[in-house]
Structure 1
Amino acid sequence: MQMRRWLVSLLVVSALVAGGCSPQETSPSPSDSSSAATTPSASATPVSSPEPANLPRLEGKATVELTVKGGKPITIEVDGTNAPITAGNFVDLVQQGVYDGLVFHRVIREPQPFVVQGGDPQSKDPNFPLEQLGTGGFVDPATGQPRNIPLEIKPEGSASPVYGKTLDTAGIAAAPQLKHTRGAVAMARASIPDSASSQFYVALTDLKFLDRDYAVFGYVTQGMDVVDKIQQGDRIESAKVTKGIENLKQSGAAATPSPSPSPQ
């Protein structure tokens, strides 16, 4: 209980500081953890909501490798079966080279392991202050518009995910299919459910209290020892899709595989 109170206090402060700058994604917010411990009053029968259109989607699974500071690759299995929009967004951004050169700007290990978080495009600029990172998201160069994706959580026993709502807000008692176990990869967002864009985090330990409020879309399958050594300010040297790119669909059409561009 003391550890939980400490996490709540620390992360509420960090979320408020970052969230005051921009409506873009900030951090997993333990202000939602109180609801995670509450049993929904609605029926436990899983329900679904309409799937968003005009966003990349992953139909099946894919494998992504991240290289940080010249170390051995971190391998991530991305699960489009249970999180098609969230997984599709991530794989699409990897394929575009968006993550190449970006910084892990938020690392919390003490007094207990929590997360390492990165993916703010502002961090590609080496002169951008580290302490100001955490508010940026992906802007589509083709349209000049930000790309935000909806909160996407698939309850156990459901045929499809719930979009735009936490499981408690949707009144669903079922647990999520994809859980915050150690090595889980999930999307960071602001307090608005549909505010995730490019920032993601890796769970350094089991974080059950985030399960019902944040979208897990994959798991580190190799290289968790590398994740454990990531420090604030470390850069992603490269991110590439090594398997399953044929499962990425762009607005209903098959994606055209192409090499990821070099960091700018």
Structure 2
Amino acid sequence: MHIIKKNFFILLLSFFSCSKSGHKVEIISRPNGEEINIEKLKTDIGGLSTASATVKTVHGDIVFRFYTKAAPRTVARIMQLIQSKFYDGLLINRAIPNFIIQTGDPTGTGTGGSGFKLKAEFNELQHIKGTMGMARGTNKDSADSQFYISLTTLPHLDGKNTIFGQVVDGLDILHKLSKGDRIISITLNFQDFSAN
């Protein structure tokens, strides 16, 4: 138990780092150990980072980019989970036509998670086809590891869930995914990670 607590503490230290001003800065590390400040990644005019990730499925690949400035803590956590291979092999635990597909539950029941709750980062972004947001319960700060991808415009979800990403390639794959399909892997495309 002592080792688990120690490892969890080390994980939290590597996930959150404090700057000299005391403001929390979200940091992840490249495979070579180089640290990356999430909030300093380059973004386009719409707020999407140049940094991307690829979701491999049995139906093909889906590439998405991150809203690093709108949801920095959430993006850092998702990146950390991707790096730890948390999502590899997980099932699509929810697939509702013309609504969403959802994954990120290691139990496959729709009730599981990584055990680390995230503070909500609701923002002004809107749910369009391919928007990626955090699934949560009735408590606004209950998001964990489960995320969804919208299959259409969903204005009734705007401002109620943390939007952290947008699919930029593979939108056609979304409609092929069904409940029970397996995520082969999600990988960060580090060649796209450059700072301002």
TM above 0.5, one fold? Answer: yes
TM-score class normalised by the smaller sequence: 0.7 to 0.9
SS of alignment partner, residue 186 of structure 1: strand
2:104 corresponds to: 119
Counterpart CA distance in 2 for 1:150 and 1:204 is 25
Following TM superposition, by how much is the alpha carbon of 1:246 offset from its aligned partner in structure 2, in angstroms?
6.7
Unmatched 5+ stretches in structure 1: 1-50, 124-132, 139-145, 155-175, 248-264
**Structure 1 or 2: larger strand share?**
2
Deviations 1:226-255 (A, max 9, x none): 1111011000001100135577xxxxxxxx
Does 2:113 match 1:137? yes
Following TM superposition, by how much is the alpha carbon of 1:92 offset from its aligned partner in structure 2, in angstroms?
1.1
Does 2:71 match 1:83? yes
Deviations 1:170-195 (A, max 9, x none): xxxxxx1x211111000000101111
Following TM superposition, by how much is the alpha carbon of 1:58 offset from its aligned partner in structure 2, in angstroms?
2.4
Counterpart CA distance in 1 for 2:89 and 2:193 is 21
Following TM superposition, by how much is the alpha carbon of 1:137 offset from its aligned partner in structure 2, in angstroms?
0.9
Query: Which of 152, 168, 184 in structure 1 is aligned with 2:121?
Result: 152
Counterpart CA distance in 2 for 1:228 and 1:211 is 21
**Number of equivalent positions:** 155
Query: Which of 56, 62, 66 in structure 2 is aligned with 1:74?
Result: 62
Where does 1:1-264 land on structure 2 (aligned, <5 Å)?
Answer: 53=24, 58-59=38-39, 60=41, 61=49, 62-69=51-58, 71-109=59-97, 113-123=98-108, 133-138=109-114, 146-154=115-123, 176=124, 178-243=125-190, 244=192
Counterpart CA distance in 2 for 1:200 and 1:245 is 22
Cα distance change, pair 135–55 in 1 and its aligned pair in 2 (3 A)? farther
| TM-score using structure 1 length | 0.55
Q: Give the 4+ runs in structure 1 shifted more than 3 A.
A: 51-57, 243-247
Q: Highest CA radius of gyration, 1 or 2?
A: 1
Unmatched 5+ stretches in structure 2: 1-21, 28-36, 42-48
Superposition RMSD on alpha carbons, in Å?
2.0
1:66 partner letter:
V
Counterpart CA distance in 1 for 2:92 and 2:23 is 29
1:58 partner letter:
I
Following TM superposition, by how much is the alpha carbon of 1:105 offset from its aligned partner in structure 2, in angstroms?
0.8
Counterpart CA distance in 2 for 1:103 and 1:181 is 23
Deviations 1:80-137 (A, max 9, x none): 122111111111111110000000011111xxx00001110223xxxxxxxxx11111
